[in-house]
Amino acid sequence: MDHNKEWEFEQTLAESEFLLRDAARSASDEADLTLESILAEFGSAASDEGMSTEPEGIEPPAPCPPVQVDDGTKAPHDEPKDEPDTVSLQDVLESTVQSVLDEGSAEEPPELLPPRRRWLFSRKKMRDTEQLYAPAEQEREETPEEAENVEEPEDFFTEDFGERDDSPEPDAASLAADYRGDARAGLRSARAALSVTALSWCALLLDHFALMPALFAEERLLNCLPFFILELLVCVLGRDVFVYAFEQLRARTVTYELLSSLACVVTLADTAIDFFLPERAALAPPFHAVAMLGMTAALYGRALLFGALYDTFRVAAVGEPDYLVTVTAGGAAKRRGSARGFARCAQREDAASHWQSVLLPVLLTASLVFAALATLRRGERLLFLWNWSVLLTAVNTLAFPLSYSLPLRRLTRRFVKSGSALAGYVGANRLRRSNCVILTDTDLFPPGTVSLNGLKIYGEESGKVISYAATMAHASQSGLSRLFDTLLESEGGKLEPLDDLSFYEEGGISGLIHGETVLFGTAAFCRKMHIAMPGALNLKTGAFLAVDGSLIAVFAVKYLAAENVDWALHALKRNRITPVLAVRDAQLTPALLKRKFGTDARAVYPTVSTRLALSEKDGEHPYALLYREGLMPFAEIAVGSKRLVHAVRMAAVLSLASSAVSALLAFYLTSVGAYSALTPVSMLVYLLLWALAALIEGIWVDRY
């Protein structure tokens, strides 16, 4: 009895081990199972039971039917094609869109999906955030916090350079009021500081060119005390800069505000020493005027930033936008949707501020170390504060406060005039990445630019012809819908019931109306469907209607080129932004754009399935808001976003590079005692040249 139990236990273990190995092998090879492998594995067992392993009656699959659309929701299918030797932008676009469409129907478990890659400077650990559903063993009721996180995707509400912001959505109207007050107060302080700084520089320039009385150079009271008082006044005007600098320092972040504040404090102390110690005065002049200029630039940078945010939020406070600009698989697109999340995105950190927070601590430490080394090498302890002030003013490039605020302010002024708002640097960067814009029928030819230039009917009543044509145009949701709806209303007709709507790659649609097969599309489409066409037909843009294989009507359609669309297409081409024609009207091709506007803007014309997919999706993430119709506001946002990101990055790179070079150069000159070369006037010229080189892109960012 015991032997039987042991034998049964060993058999159970063997069977369990076999099942585990078989499950592991099937899990690893599940994606590679084919009909041949199944037959090879189980063929012997089938033959033993008298079953044939040869598949009988297997025929090759039939070709895919035309794109069928039931109520505009059925997914399209394209016929398989041979893979080309080269990959074009259109192929990449179509594959990307198809992968996004198939994403929701994927049957792979979440653990098999690859984790989403995050950016290099991300402060969060890499983790998978794109699971489509929870595993069965983890199913449970969601808490309100988890449900809110599902509604707000992390890739939008997490800023590019920081942690996720879970604060509630602020009100745009209250933000506009706050930034309006801050902008006005900051601009008043900046203008007052500029007046005081200009007065100081006038005195210094007159003294530099020996135009001041001799008493000014000989009397220490006139040479030091007025500049000390003027710089102290500038510090009082820039008290907000001091407060913000030390608040950020408590958060372990070094900003350009801290450099400006330290430069003013150090130069004030050096000016005081210069007044009380005559031996110090004979060595080198203080850099108080240069430090005042840096504080003035910081005040202007903050005022411009507050003004830009005020313009942004006063547009957003108008109400729900007509359109929002979001990013889809095919590029930036105009969509209907809510502006929720726009306010938080607009206030997030830009690239220049992020890069400065990384490199400015190094430059600040280097300035202190270099000042100490230069002082020890020269053996002149009275010049320590002067050496440090030289290094601080050299490191604190005037372009730091204006790298982001100047181009953003210039662009927001333009956007306000066109009734649009951009969600700051983060929104511009997201729109710029795709470098494509999705254009629909109404973008290219808005209402009023498409008209009926003639009509010819063959053997049918006009009421039936117009009803059938209006029904087909309305079902296609193309730019012709409004034209034929107006024609139907004028004739007193009505839309007919339509079944089995299909879209064809050749440029037309088909459907069933009262049991009759109706075709509606271009002349090429009708010829492909073997419809007999008139012999002397010379019509470049027209719509053809056929019923049960017979042509019954020809509509001559006229497209007029709108001036704002013409400007928009040329602006997109100049800035190398690719338009993607997600159009439903088969007449709207790059060739038509070339004839009507003189340029096709290097447009991409995808397949009909891709065009349908790109034209049906709704928007989610508001990276920009549009309150006016037409292609011009959309094109201004797309072009402005690209130019803003380029200007900010260019200014950030040049300003940081000039700061590092200036630190090394200033250290060399102070260590060798070249005091005659280190004068406030020479430092002024040096800083202005670097600032001009860094900000040249920002000055012209709105000229396109």
Long-range contact pairs involving 559-562 (C-beta distance under 8 Å, separation at least 24) = 559/445, 559/449, 559/450, 559/587, 559/592, 559/596, 560/445, 560/448, 560/449, 560/450, 560/451, 560/596, 561/449, 561/596, 561/597, 562/445, 562/446, 562/449, 562/630, 562/631
Query: Can you tell me the distance from the alpha carbon of 301 to that of 322, in angstroms, rounded to the nearest whole number?
Result: 32
Residue 367 has pLDDT above 90, yes or no: yes
Q: Give the model's pLDDT for residue 667.
A: 96
What pLDDT digit, counting tens, does each position of 659-685 carry?
Answer: 999 999 999 999 998 888 899 999 999
| pLDDT of 581 over the 50 cut | yes
Residue-level pLDDT at 540? 84
For residues 240-250, average pLDDT: 96
- Greater confidence, 58 or 67? 67
Q: Is pLDDT at 473 greater than 70 in this prediction?
A: yes
Lowest mean pLDDT, pick from 97-106, 370-379, 401-410, 626-635: 97-106
State both tokens at 504.
Answer: 């064809």
Residue 34 has what pLDDT?
44
The pLDDT value recorded for residue 276 is 82
Q: Hunting for tokens 């250290």 — which residue is that?
A: 667
Q: Which residues pair with 333 in a beta bridge?
A: 326, 438
Lookup result for tokens 């011009």: 632
Which pLDDT score, from 0 to 100, does residue 62 have? Answer: 42
Mean pLDDT comparison of 36-45, 211-220, 535-544, 640-649, highest-scoring range: 640-649
Residue with tokens 């630019």: 449
pLDDT higher than threshold 80 for residue 466? yes
Complete domains list, the chain, with CATH = 172-318+326-435+630-699 (no CATH), 450-559 (3.40.1110.10)
Query: Under a CB-based contact definition with an 8 Å cutoff, are residues 594 and 387 in contact?
Result: no
Q: Is 286 left (phi over 0), alpha (psi -120 to 50) or beta?
A: beta
Tell me the angle at which helices 256-276 and 384-395 cross, rounded to the nearest 10 degrees: 150
Length of the chain: 704
Q: What is the pLDDT of residue 618?
A: 64
User: Per-residue pLDDT for 226 more than 70?
Assistant: yes
Q: Can you tell me the mean pLDDT for 442-468?
A: 91
**Residues 179-207: tens digit of each pLDDT:** 999 999 999 999 999 999 999 999 999 88
Whether 651 has a pLDDT exceeding 70, the answer reads yes
Q: What angle do CA 477, 483, 488 make, to 5 degrees?
A: 100
Asked if the model's pLDDT at residue 238 lies above 70, the reply is: yes
The three state secondary structure string of 492-539 is CCCCCCCEEEEEECCCEEEEEECCEEEEEECHHHHHHCCCCCCCCCCC
Q: Is the pLDDT of residue 39 over 90?
A: no
Can you give the pLDDT at residue 208? Answer: 83
C-alpha 244/C-alpha 227 separation (Å) is 25
Model confidence band, residue 493 (pLDDT cutoffs 50, 70, 90): confident
Position 35 scores a pLDDT of: 40
pTM: 0.78
Q: Name which of 2-16, 131-145, 266-280 the model is least confident about.
A: 131-145
Work out the average pLDDT over 158-187.
79
Q: Supply the pLDDT for residue 97.
A: 57
Backbone angles phi, psi at 689, to 5 degrees: -65, -45
CA 510 to chain CA mean position, Å: 38
Which residues on adjacent β-strands are paired with residue 324? 335, 625
Q: Which residues of 424-454 are buried (b: 16+ CB within 10 A; e: fewer)?
A: bbbbbbbbbebebbbbbbbbbbbeebbeeee
- Rounded CA separation 83/91 (Å): 10
Cα 598 to Cα 586: distance, rounded to the nearest angstrom: 19
Would the pLDDT of 284 be above 70?
Answer: yes
CA pair distance 553, 322, nearest whole angstrom: 37
Residues 347, 309: Cα–Cα separation, whole Å: 8
Q: Which helix (H) or strand (E) holds 457?
A: strand 450-457
Q: What is the pLDDT of residue 98?
A: 64
pLDDT higher than 50, residue 701:
yes
State the Cα–Cα distance between residues 189 and 671, nearest whole angstrom: 37
Mean pLDDT (the chain, rounded): 81
Q: CA distances (Å), 374 to each of 20, 367, 382, in order?
A: 73, 10, 12
Phi/psi for 622 (5° steps) reads: -85, 90
pLDDT value at 697 more than 90: yes
DSSP per residue, 329-350? TTEEEEE----TTHHHHHTSPP
On whether the CB atoms of residues 695 and 402 are closer than 8 A, the answer is yes
Tell me the sheet residues that pair with 624.
325, 422
How confident is the model over 99-158, as pLDDT tens digits?
A: 655 554 444 433 333 444 333 333 344 333 333 333 333 334 444 444 444 344 444 444
What pLDDT does residue 21 have? 53
What's residue 442's pLDDT? 93
**E strand spans, 232-293:** none
What are the structure tokens assigned to 307, written together?
Answer: 């003004």
The CA distance from 501 to 511, in Å, is 5
- Alpha helices in 277-423, H assignment, sequence order: 278-281, 288-316, 342-346, 351-378, 384-395, 402-417
Q: What pLDDT does residue 313 have?
A: 97
Per-residue 3-state assignment (H helix, E strand, C coil) for 655-686: HHHHHHHHHHHHHHHHHHCCCCCCCHHHHHHH
Distance CA 550, CA 533 (A): 9
Mean pLDDT of 247-271: 95
Residue-level pLDDT at 166? 57
- Give the separation between CA 297 and CA 367, rounded to whole angstroms: 20
List Cα–Cα distances, 210 to 281, 286, 399, 686, in angstroms. Answer: 18, 18, 31, 21
Residue 499 CA from chain centroid, whole number? 40
For 319-363, what is each residue's pLDDT tens digit? 899 999 999 988 999 998 889 999 999 999 999 999 999 999 999
Residue 8 has pLDDT above 90, yes or no: no
Q: What are phi and psi of 562, to 5 degrees?
A: -80, 145
Q: Could you tell me which residue, 75 or 325, shows the higher pLDDT?
A: 325
Residue 517 has pLDDT above 80, yes or no: yes
